[in-house]
Amino acid sequence: MTDPLFQPILINTMQVKNRIFMPAMHMNMAGNYAVTDRLVDFYVERAKGGAGMITVGYATVDELSGNPGNIGAHKDAYIPGLARLATAIRENGARASVQLNHAGRYNHSMLMGGKQPVAPSAIPSRLTRETPRELTIGEIREIIGRFAQAAGRVKEAGFDAVEILFGTGYLISEFLSPLTNKRSDEYGGPFGNRIRFGLEVIREVRVVVGGEFPLLVRLNGNEFMKGGSSRQELQEYAVRLAGEGVDAICVNVGWHEAQVPQIASEVPRAVFAYLARAIKERVPVPVIASHRINDPEVARELLTDGVCDMVALGRALIADPFFPEKARCGRERDIVHCVACGQGCFDNLFKMKPVECLCNPRAGYERTRAVGRADRPLDVMVVGGGAAGMSAAMAATERGHRVTLHERGDRLGGQLLLAGAPPGREEFLELADDLARQVELSGVTVVLNSSVDERFLGAISPDAVILATGGVPIAPAIPGVDLPHVVQAWDVLTERVTTGRRVAVIGGGAVGIETALLLAEKGTLSGEALKFLLVHGAESCEDLYGLATHGGKQVTVIEMLDELGRNFGRSTRWGMMQDVERYGVTTRTTARVMEITANGVRIESNGQVEEIPADSVVLAVGTRSYNPLQESIAASGRTLRVVGDAVRPAMVFDAIHEGFMAGREIG
């Protein structure tokens, strides 16, 4: 049977070789608006990997529309760089397009030399905490012209298509939304006026690029903004855009300030594809579904079920640039799936850093982290089969060394198996399997159930050792910590222990919060049960919500600091804290644990002492490094690298990147 993922598709006059579309994502790799080697290298790898079409950007239309980390399209001076990028993508097998956008009230004055952001109305932004200046009619028309001029530069640079961003809370969607558009002129008020700006942008762009140049838009299927544009308005907008000559519509979801998670690992795969289907049923042009599509089978199902005409793989192609080619060649087991952690992509943007990837330490470093062959192959022993150890073993093997990885357990994965235990974090279990598969493909010799000690090391006598022995949970010096109802969070997450109805979790970091949510969800309705009861009208929607969010345990998190979940990434933390409230987890911050008793936990907070009743007490107070072999190996004179939690407790991102760099540098 012909694979629907690899059927060509026509967008206006442009034929795309397959149905895999890489959407625009802000990479923060441009240099003062100019295309850089780093940006070119990044997209060349994705073009080589088999994507049918790659959209870069977003690109700016004027100096208030973005910042110097964006690709520039607002001056002719940027055309040569754009041309270089277009050529690099096309020469490596993919169609190339550029997304144009104006950030509007989402821009930051500090990124524009102190200039005030602009918007349809002077409505403060919850994202930036700034109030924009309201655009005049003359300025609105100037911006429309700048979109068209920028599109002309995109075409002149040799790109195959241009896309305009109509969603996500940026300027065009700000005109559409009654939340941000309070104008009383022809650009505000009723729906027909609020879509005027967007339609005029399309008309002007079409005049400049001509009738046969493919023109796409990226449009919200749902803004998830209370009091904002309705789904029905967005669907009608799509119809009007197609009527104005838009050749394809990529459907995304949510504004940046929306309170519905859109990119986190708890978001089910392809859950928002229903929004693409609703638009596909109303327009005569190709529709592209997006968000959390990270597996070929999911993508195929969307196509064969008529949900969409193409699938947008964004972070999936950051994690594995060769996802398309592996799927095309029947090597789907070899794909490294994006885990939607946000640690290297979205969280980096908040830090004003270029995009990286937890799963792929080469992403964004395609040239500078190339692995060269060693002058002399070495016998390398890697101790520990967690994320850091697997990453190190693969890099050292690629360098040409003879690598043996020893893992004391019966499965590779280490703390990835813990990270994947909480509800909504199952992608980390898949990552453990994905990395184990990559280790297998790389040719590393793996020895499971193997405990390495000094005697064993002496007998094997490797030339180099990489210690990736990880960490162990801390048992704090609290009276009562040895009582039989006190357990470690790691044991709860791996289901080695059970807990009572009333549970106190000591420690409000990431592990403590994840453990608390795991316990709080016990006894709630599963997704399958919820659907059955809903479809058959067995209970009211209100009662079903309660049954889906309130289980059989009373969970309390106790934290000494004044804030919970500090070691979550920014793009993950807010959703996790919403869940803490949603699932009824009680939290106690600025609370010092004085003693664990037979009946609970005695705490002191704000000068008051009280006892929190608990049938079980879970310790989630942190991790300490475990590296008992480091001193003796260092004394032996062997080449030694220590990576991951064996150096210092950190995040999975750090473990994978440190492991890769250690393996790459051996010998």
pLDDT tens sequence across 498-534:
999 999 999 999 999 999 999 999 999 999 999 999 9
Q: Could you give the residue range(s) of every CATH 3.50.50.60 domain in the chain?
A: 486-621
Q: Could you give the residue range(s) of every CATH 3.20.20.70 domain in the chain?
A: 4-328
Q: Is the pLDDT of residue 1 over 80?
A: no
Residue 620's closest CA among 506, 527, 538, 529? 506
**From CA 544, how far away is CA 354, in angstroms rounded?**
43
The CATH class that applies to domain 4-328 reads alpha beta
| pLDDT value, residue 558 | 97
What is the number of alpha carbons within 13 Å of residue 590 lying toward its C-beta? 5
pLDDT digits (tens, 9 = 90+) for 377-434: 999 999 999 999 999 999 999 999 999 999 999 999 999 999 999 888 999 999 999 9
Q: Could you give the residue range(s) of every CATH 3.40.50.720 domain in the chain?
A: 379-473+627-665
Is 513 in contact with 589 (CB distance < 8 Å)?
no
Domain spanning 379-473+627-665, CATH architecture:
3-Layer(aba) Sandwich (3.40)
Q: Is 298 helix (H, G, I), strand (E, B) or coil?
A: helix
Strand partners, 59: 71, 100
Pick the CATH number of 486-621 from 3.40.50.12780, 3.40.50.300, 3.50.50.60, 1.10.8.350: 3.50.50.60
Q: Is the pLDDT of residue 4 over 80?
A: yes
DSSP one-letter string for 508-576: -SHHHHHHHHHHHTTTSPPHHHHHHHHHTT-S-HHHHHHHHH--S-EEEEE-SSSSS-TTS-HHHHHHH
Is 168 in contact with 252 (CB distance < 8 Å)?
yes
Q: Is the pLDDT of residue 348 over 90?
A: no
**From CA 425, how far away is CA 560, in angstroms rounded?**
26
Eight-class DSSP state of 34: B
pTM: 0.94
Joined tokens for residue 182: 């309070």
| pLDDT value, residue 652 | 94
**From CA 525, how far away is CA 578, in angstroms rounded?**
19
Q: Is the pLDDT of residue 570 over 90?
A: no
Q: Is the pLDDT of residue 183 over 90?
A: yes
Average pLDDT of the residues in 599-625: 95
